[in-house]
Amino acid sequence: MKTRSFAAQTATSPLGQFSFERREPGAEDVQIDILHCGICHSDIHTARNEWHNTIFPVVPGHEIVGRVSAVGKGVKGFEPGDLAAVGCMVDSCRECSSCAEGLEQYCEGSMVLTYNSPDRHTGGMTYGGYSERIVVAERFALRVPGNLDPAATAPLLCAGITLYSPLRHWKVGKGNKVGIVGLGGLGHMGVKLAHAMGAHVVLFTTSASKVEDGRRLGADEVVISRDADAMKKHTRSFDLIINSVSVPHDLDAYVTLLRRDGTLCLLGAPSEPHPSPAIFNLILARRRIAGSVIGGIRETQEMLDFCSAHEIESDIERIPIQKVNEAYERMLRSDVKYRFVIDMASLRA
């Protein structure tokens, strides 16, 4: 199927119109006409080859919500007309221990990302959600709860699950003290989700202008991380700190805030490494620095259902696809509250 999209042709060129062929849906596939696609910072990293792994042309986009337009004869969970979603991956080996446990994001074989990944069906590369439609195996399609706004749901497919998964893994609930570092596309979801889980939530930000917004989103406290005295007041008090910042910075400032056995979980993927933390800050309190990436399909559906039950959506700004390059530049200036979402009707206009 000829499919219109926006793509980056090189690391330095702006995104522009690009047509390619989507495969016809097979027996186990769902075809989705894309209504909305969120813009993730990973899209920028990939379009500009900042991780040095991009195969051009690249069609970004892995926060996808749309309407099912066709299903294969073996599909049981979706019908034409249903709202459906696709996140950061469209396949995995389905055989390794991680896949068997529903942790496809840690596939030990060959997880297939929604874009810029070898496509098993076409032999080329996968193309993402800045496009008219997508075809995906039913196993990797998600149901969108009817009480959520489809556009504001799109960022949940990456930003939402990226925060939900570590909060669930470290069993966050009432009685826990959780820190969220950074109030951007990821961080604002972390504040909302941790608050809904019953934790005492502390937002760390470098910007005094975000204090009021942090409290509106559910933070019990907001700390300006450049204020040494304010930081010191929280020494040895956190069970979990989730760090969403994607530029290199001092991790020790947060490690010292952890209780014994506390965890600093890194989500941001800077193009240059963080400065190494002081080893004694770790070993003298059995603290951990860990990482986490998105979530499996089962957990992502659980996240969507949790957001439905707690009426959690992303704070978004809708844009036509013709403004995607402007949106990239604004994201780099932190000039969005808190996620851009492309209205894909603008591609069809």
What is the pLDDT, as a whole number, of residue 272? 76
What is the pLDDT, as a whole number, of residue 249? 84
What is the pLDDT, as a whole number, of residue 276? 77
Tokens of 78: 């979706």
- What is the share, in percent, of the chain residues with pLDDT greater than 90? 92
Name the average pLDDT for the chain.
Answer: 95
pLDDT digits (tens, 9 = 90+) for 209-218: 899 999 999 9
pLDDT digits (tens, 9 = 90+) for 279-299: 899 999 999 999 999 999 999
**Beta strand ranges found along the chain (DSSP E):** 2-7, 16-21, 29-38, 64-71, 83-86, 89-91, 112-113, 133-137, 142-143, 177-181, 200-205, 221-224, 238-243, 258-266, 288-291, 316-320, 339-343
Q: The whole model's pTM is what?
A: 0.95
What is the pLDDT, as a whole number, of residue 246? 79
The rounded distance, in Å, linking the Cα atoms of 300 and 102 is 10
pLDDT digits (tens, 9 = 90+) for 126-175: 999 999 999 999 999 999 999 999 999 999 999 999 999 999 999 999 99
What is the pLDDT, as a whole number, of residue 62? 98
- The stretch 265-282 carries a mean pLDDT of 84
**Is residue 348 scored above 90 in pLDDT?**
no
Q: Which residues of 40-63 are buried (b: 16+ CB within 10 A; e: fewer)?
A: bbbbbbbbbbbeeebeebbbbbbb
Q: Which fold has domain 2-158+315-348?
A: Quinone Oxidoreductase; Chain A, domain 1 (3.90.180)
**Is residue 73 scored above 90 in pLDDT?**
yes
CA distances from 218 to 190, 197, 221 (A): 10, 11, 9
pLDDT digits (tens, 9 = 90+) for 30-59: 999 999 999 999 999 999 999 899 999 999
The rounded distance, in Å, linking the Cα atoms of 135 and 34 is 10
What is the pLDDT, as a whole number, of residue 248? 78
**Is residue 220 scored above 80 in pLDDT?**
yes
**Is residue 274 scored above 90 in pLDDT?**
no
**Is residue 270 scored above 80 in pLDDT?**
no
**Is residue 190 scored above 90 in pLDDT?**
yes
* 3-state class (DSSP) for residue 256: coil
The architecture CATH gives domain 160-291: 3-Layer(aba) Sandwich (3.40)
* 3-state class (DSSP) for residue 181: strand
- Tell which residue, 90, 80, 88, 8, has the closest CA to residue 50: 8
Residue 339 — very low, low, confident or very high, per pLDDT cuts 50/70/90? very high
177 by Cβ neighbours in 10 Å (0-12 / 13-18 / 19+) ranks as buried
Distance of CA 153 to the CA centre of its chain: 12
Residue ranges of domains in the chain = 2-158+315-348, 160-291
What is the pLDDT, as a whole number, of residue 110? 87
- The stretch 234-245 carries a mean pLDDT of 96
- Report which of residues 334 and 117 the model is more confident about: 117
